[in-house]
Amino acid sequence: MTILRKQQKEHDFNKCVLEILKELEKGARTERQLVIRTAEKGYPASRLSEALTYLKNFDFVYKSHRVKGRDKVVISRIGKKKLEAMMFQNDYAL
């Protein structure tokens, strides 16, 4: 039973990361906007913070810098494709 829970947790995490990427593509420019928009879709805050931390570890995917006192989020197209491929592999390797 614990193996199934772990797989479900990984699946939920992957879905959350992909949802954050979709929101970035739609135009979310601050971490606050990302969290609000993704939370509206029913993802738990703990999963969101894990996903944001995960994305920050990839230099080619996620950059955050201050613009006029706010954190601006930037994502590269190449990074988005690489990360989506990784998420897809993780999800279906189970």
| The pLDDT of residue 70 | 63
Q: How far, in Å, CA of 33 to CA of 52, rounded?
A: 12
| The pLDDT of residue 60 | 55
> Does the pLDDT at position 93 exceed 50?
no
Beta strand 62-67 with 70-75 is antiparallel
pTM for the full predicted model: 0.62
> Does the pLDDT at position 94 exceed 50?
no
| The pLDDT of residue 79 | 65
| The pLDDT of residue 62 | 57
pLDDT band at 27 (very low <50, low <70, confident <90, very high): confident
Please identify which residue in the block is written with the tokens 């810098």. 65
Neighbours of 85 (CB within 10 A): 10
- Which domains are assigned to the chain? 2-93 (1.10.10.10)
